[in-house]
Amino acid sequence: MSSEAANTAPMASAAAESKSTKPKDSKKKSKKLEQFLLKTPKGTKDWADKDMIFREAIFNSLSTLFQKHGGVTIDTPVFELREILTGKYGEDSKLIYNLEDQGGELTSLRYDLTVPFARFVASNSISSIKRYHIAKVYRRDQPAMTKGRMREFYQCDFDIAGQYDSMIPDSEILQLLCEGLTGLGIRDFKVKLNHRKILDGIFQACGVQDEDVRKVSSAVDKLDKLPWQAVKDEMVKEKNQPEEVADRIGEFVKHNGTVREVLDILRNDELLTANKSAQEGIADMETLADYLDAFEISSFISFDLSLARGLDYYTGLIYEAVTAASAPPTDAEKLKQKAQKDKKEVEDASEYVGVGSIAAGGRYDNLVGMFSNGKSIPCVGISFGVERLFSIIKARAQKQLNEVSAYKTQAFVMAFGGGEGWNGYLKERMAIAQRLWAAGINTEYLYKAKANIRKQFDAAEKSGAQIGVILGKEEYLEGKLRVKVLGQGEDSDQGELVDVKDIVEVVQKKIEESKKGGMDDITRLIRNL
Amino acid sequence: MSSEAANTAPMASAAAESKSTKPKDSKKKSKKLEQFLLKTPKGTKDWADKDMIFREAIFNSLSTLFQKHGGVTIDTPVFELREILTGKYGEDSKLIYNLEDQGGELTSLRYDLTVPFARFVASNSISSIKRYHIAKVYRRDQPAMTKGRMREFYQCDFDIAGQYDSMIPDSEILQLLCEGLTGLGIRDFKVKLNHRKILDGIFQACGVQDEDVRKVSSAVDKLDKLPWQAVKDEMVKEKNQPEEVADRIGEFVKHNGTVREVLDILRNDELLTANKSAQEGIADMETLADYLDAFEISSFISFDLSLARGLDYYTGLIYEAVTAASAPPTDAEKLKQKAQKDKKEVEDASEYVGVGSIAAGGRYDNLVGMFSNGKSIPCVGISFGVERLFSIIKARAQKQLNEVSAYKTQAFVMAFGGGEGWNGYLKERMAIAQRLWAAGINTEYLYKAKANIRKQFDAAEKSGAQIGVILGKEEYLEGKLRVKVLGQGEDSDQGELVDVKDIVEVVQKKIEESKKGGMDDITRLIRNL
């Protein structure tokens, strides 16, 4: 249980990755081979030690939240039939991982948890469900490991499927989003909000043809990373929109503010009054504004007409939560150009990206219908990005990391003795450990037939055990054991001499007295960071 | 949250699978398309509803066990560099799932959790660790869904890595295996035990050439499914062993009994006295016999010389746990022949297989060394097969299923009113729900602006909530709410009229009084099946 070694696991593997040979060179085996073998695939990592404990605390916090809102959990396969995923992700479809055709069905790793959820709802003919799902998803994207941009990463999703009155489930999802981030100790976030019907209405009113709406939308989606001029260029040059159309769009997408502020602008805009799609969206947003007040979360919300979201399947409200850490550093462009000039293949792009949105989602009313002859079930949901949350929380929790241990051992059984005929009391230690295990006590002992006092105390300390159970050579022959609270110096006291028959009771009492931080304590620690 | 629909999820998808078109026919789209889409890939399934709760209880029981023995948990990527997996699994390597070569590294889905663990230990230069890992693994095997033989399935692994005295970690693993199964309410199991050094010694002593040992071993491995004559035929005809060699092996592998009984036979066997490998194994088993007694688990153990285990990487003790459900039905051979005669492609082979071993493992002292220039760390471990345990537990728990709910909702907020100006108190319900959430209470309400009494009570019942919080039109105007214990008939009592300001406190008190079964209760339920 060498805790230091395990502690460095993610670092070590990230370092191994950046040093790795390029895959195409793998024919040059020999010396490079071992280095190549000793890493995880690009964009993936091992989780271990305290990182694992922190991640568990994040999962714990979010699943408690999801259950608070009536969620039940499901688990779907990590790969789906390829046709299930086809045509759902727009320009990002190229990032889907395929499994090799080894005969049989063509399958791909899931790209998100939303499409598998819609397939699940359709294939089981479910009319309504609130489900949560915490699992890994896969994207062949350019990774930026230290910022939590991975090829294999966790999503924590909560979705509400069912036919309900307008904006009621949507507002609860936004409430849950704010409650979820606050519960993870993140308070400096903003939820950017927009509505696909308003956005599409704006595009139509500005003169975009219906068939061009999605591709213009995906240009607008880049406004969080690029200046308006670059987005305009993409619309005009790559997507063949007249310059005046792009300029009209530019006038709209610069608006943001409270829901009521932006609604005032939209309601008074002459271009939009005749647009049915925009008016439907505006009516939704008016309803929503009231509900956000009822939930007391309006202060977190920014109605932002530049938010477009890349995925094809959204049909209504869309949103994403961002923090200061979401934005790229101010010298990002310079760093990027330097890297390109140096012709470095950028394995780790983390220097010039922010963590991006830490949670995102929207309404998708037609996705289930794509799997069930058009008989659709309206859905709305949110996805929390665990790696990004983790990197923010871990950066804040440097000090608190010391208070957290990955080890949960409570008792360590030792034997002290020596001289003629001393056999190390191994079988006796096993029998005592067996009794403690049977009572539910986390117990270890040193895997040596005979071991000296120092080695046993060292092992006990490493294990994190609070209680030492000591079999003294002579004492044990008289049916006695010594029980000692650890971590107070080896010789601080001699411990309490107890009858072997009372051992479980005494150890349980001493554990109760010196209680260690459990998962709830860590969840609380994170919340109060 | 239509519980009936979700309840049938795994059945529905299994049914869809068996009806599916053969994959190669997928060009014949049109009508078959929807049916094809509405399923999970072959050998995989969705988990939902009560199945999910039972599975969580199994995970809970096992991870508590692993922590009891000092285990820390890790998480590795679902795919590894292909070279990591190559050459580790013997004849079963053909079952590895590859990812498509889309440029970049060649990767494959993990086949077990053991090889990724060894890679983790090597790449982080860990000298000792007890780790547990609960995760999915992938094998392109012929699935038998109802018996828990899947292509995607969970393993729960516990491994001890480090340089220790002989048989001490090995015996603790066996103790943990027995404790784990007993803790899941399984008591009619047997742990079959053998030692690779004894087995290899027997093969050598019987006249098998060193280079043939592994392939003779893999023939012996089939003795749990085939009669001796078929295994002998494979040795003689396919693996070119002289008939007298096979016959000599046959004399050995028929032995089984307690460790001391079989040791007596081996110690007195003249063929083995000169064999170094066998003598080392025998010495190990003598040490082990004492430790099994110290742990009081000897009665579960059967030293069985026919146990060989397929995997290449084992070097010492090997074992697997079986129950009555592990064996194929007595008419298996007949069923199989009939299926072959009918030229049916056997999609679901469950009719003529047992669930197989429910947990298995062994010692592998050289695997870490394959990733670290030969500097190896001795390891020993156990893997519990969750799907197989689940299918046994579920079959026993039919009655108890009724006591378990997937829903954890505690309070349901409703509004009663009508007549002129009645607005349904939606925003008021939201505000009350918000206060209950903030206090950590699992709360729902109906997502309708206005809803009648009956519909709200139905939804409350479906949610499983114990407590109804009722906003009466007039009462609420006077700052009062009604709190009612649900599930006792709608009109059994009028509930308690309380001040709005006291609502959290009152609901918390009533929940405390009518506590539902949590995860610990379900874990206990399974243990006592």
pLDDT in tens, chain A (529 residues): 333 333 333 333 333 333 333 333 434 444 444 445 689 999 999 999 999 989 999 999 999 999 999 999 999 999 999 999 998 888 789 999 999 999 999 999 999 999 999 999 999 999 999 999 999 999 998 888 776 779 999 999 999 999 999 999 999 999 999 999 999 999 999 999 999 999 999 999 999 999 999 899 999 999 988 899 999 999 999 999 999 999 999 999 999 999 999 999 999 999 999 999 999 999 999 999 999 999 999 999 999 999 999 888 999 999 999 998 777 666 656 666 666 665 554 444 444 556 689 999 999 999 999 998 878 999 999 999 999 999 889 888 877 777 778 888 999 999 999 998 899 999 999 999 999 999 999 999 999 999 999 999 999 999 999 999 999 999 999 999 999 999 876 556 788 999 999 999 999 999 988 765 566 777 787 787 7
pLDDT number for residue A208: 96
From A192's Cα to the closest Cα of chain B, the distance in A is 21
Q: Tell whether the torsion through CA atoms of A446, A452, A455 and A461 is positive or negative.
A: positive
Chain A, residues 291-350, CB within 8 A of chain B, namely 291, 293-296
A411-513 matches A190-322 in CATH topology:
no
Q: Which residues of B touch A287 (CB under 8 A)?
A: none
Predicted local distance difference test score (pLDDT) of residue A329: 61
**Inter-residue contact B392 to A55 (CB < 8 Å):** no
Query: Do residue B72 and residue A6 have CB atoms under 8 angstroms apart?
Result: yes
Check CB contact under 8 Å for B442 and A69: yes
Q: Which chain B residues are closer than 8 Å to A130 by Cβ?
A: 1
| A153: contact with B, CB 8 A cutoff | no
Pairs of residues, one from chain A and one from chain B, whose beta carbons lie less than 8 Å apart: 316
Contacts 24+ apart (CB under 8 A), A525-529: A525/A57, A525/A397, A525/A400, A525/A403, A525/A404, A526/A54, A526/A57, A526/A58, A526/A61, A526/A184, A526/A185, A526/A393, A526/A397, A527/A61, A527/A182, A527/A183, A527/A184, A527/A185, A528/A185, A529/A185, A529/A393, A529/A396, A529/A397, A529/A400
User: Residue B462: is its pLDDT beyond 70?
Assistant: yes
* Chain B interface includes A144 (CB < 8 A): no
A contacts of B67 (beta carbons < 8 Å): 408, 442
Q: Return the residue of A nearest to B98 by Cα.
A: A100
The residues facing A362 across adjacent strands are: A318, A381
How far, in Å, CA of A479 to CA of B142, rounded?
57
With beta carbons less than 8 A apart as the criterion, state whether A162 and A377 touch. Answer: yes
Top residue of B72, B151, B423 to mutate, by most chain A CBs within 10 Å, is: B72
Query: Measured between CB atoms, which of A23, A67, A105 is closest to B106?
Result: A23
Q: The domain B190-322 belongs to what CATH superfamily?
A: Bira Bifunctional Protein; Domain 2 (3.30.930.10)
pLDDT band at B493 (very low <50, low <70, confident <90, very high): confident
- The answer to whether the Cβ–Cβ distance between B77 and A171 falls below 8 Å is no
Residues in chain B within 8 Å Cβ distance of A523: none
SS3 of A149-183 = ECCEEEEEEEEEECCCCCCHHHHHHHHHHHHHHHH
**A126 touches B: beta carbon within 8 Å:** yes
Return d(Cα A53, Cα A59) in angstroms, integer.
Answer: 10
Q: What is the C-alpha separation between A128 and A121, in angstroms, rounded? A: 8
pLDDT digits (tens, 9 = 90+) for B262-315: 999 999 999 999 999 999 999 999 999 999 999 999 999 999 999 999 788 999
Which residue of chain B has the CA closest to A152? B77
> Residues 6-25, chain A: which have Cβ within 8 Å of B?
6, 8-9, 12-13, 16, 23
CATH superfamily for domain B411-513: Anticodon-binding domain (3.40.50.800)
Q: What are the φ/ψ torsions at residue B216 (nearest 5 degrees)?
A: -65, -40
DSSP A328-343: PPTTHHHHHHHHHHTT
Of B5, B106, B434, the CB nearest to A296: B434
- Chain B residue numbers with beta carbons less than 8 Å from the beta carbon of A35 are none
Of the residues B68, B141, B523, the best mutation for testing chain A's interface (the one with the most A CB atoms within 10 Å of its CB) is B68
CATH tag for A41-186+336-406 (out of 3.40.190.10, 1.20.1240.10, 3.40.50.300, 3.30.930.10): 3.30.930.10
Quote the pLDDT of residue B526: 78
* Separation CA A212–CA A197 (nearest Å): 15
Question: Are A175 and B431 a contacting pair, CB within 8 Å?
Answer: no
Q: Is A86 left (phi over 0), alpha (psi -120 to 50) or beta?
A: beta
Mapped onto helix, strand or coil, the DSSP state of residue B467 is strand
Q: Per CATH, which fold does B44-189+353-406 belong to?
A: BirA Bifunctional Protein; domain 2 (3.30.930)
Average pLDDT, chain B: 87
Chain centroid, CA B458 distance in Å: 36
B84-128 per-position pLDDT tens digit: 999 888 878 999 999 999 999 999 999 999 999 999 999 999 999
Name the more confident of B20 and B296: B296
Q: Quote the minimal CA–CA distance from B386 to chain A in Å.
A: 14
The complex's ipTM works out to 0.87
A411 in Cβ contact with A495 (< 8 Å)? no
pLDDT (tens digit, 9 = 90+) per residue, B53-65? 899 999 999 999 9
Inter-chain CB proximity B8 and A295 less than 8 Å: no
For chain B, the structural domain boundaries read 3-37, 44-189+353-406, 190-322, 411-513
Q: Which of B46, B77, B444 sits opposite A75 (nearest CB)?
A: B46
B373 touches chain A (CB under 8 A): yes
CB–CB of A6 and B440 under 8 A?
no
Please check whether residue A86 touches B, CB under 8 A: no
Which pTM value belongs to this model? 0.88
Q: Per-residue pLDDT for B140 more than 60?
A: yes
Burial class (CB in 10 A: 0-12, 13-18, 19+), A306: buried
State the pLDDT at residue B489: 62
Q: Cβ–Cβ of B77/A41 closer than 8 Å?
A: yes
Answer yes or no: do B46 and A76 touch at CB < 8 A.
Answer: yes
Judged by CB atoms closer than 8 Å, whether chains meet at A72 and B407 is answered as yes
Contacts of residue B8 in chain A, CB cutoff 8 Å? 124
* Å between A284 CA and nearest CA of chain B: 14
Mark yes or no for CB contact A152/B105 under 8 Å: no
Residue range B15-27: mean pLDDT, rounded: 37
Q: Looking at the complex, does the CB of residue B406 fall below 8 Å from at least one CB of chain A?
A: yes
Measure the CA–CA gap between A522 and A408, rounded to whole angstroms: 13
* pLDDT for res B37: 67
Q: Does A30 touch chain B (CB under 8 A)?
A: no
Instruction: Note the helical H segments in B44-167.
Output: 49-68, 82-85, 114-123
Instruction: Name chain A contacts of B296, Cβ cutoff 8 Å.
Output: 431, 434
Contact criterion met (CB < 8 Å) for A37 and B83: yes
Write the residue in A13, A169, A171 that is nearest to B123 by C-beta: A13
Using a CB-CB cut-off of 8 Å, the residues of chain A touching B153 are none
CA-nearest residue to A51 within chain B is B74
Report the first-to-last Cα separation within chain A, whole angstroms: 29
How many CA atoms lie within 13 Å of B412's alpha carbon, on the beta-carbon side?
27
A408 touches chain B (CB under 8 A): yes
The β-bridge relationship of strands B411-416 and B467-472 is: parallel
Q: Is B86 on the interface with A (CB under 8 A)?
A: no
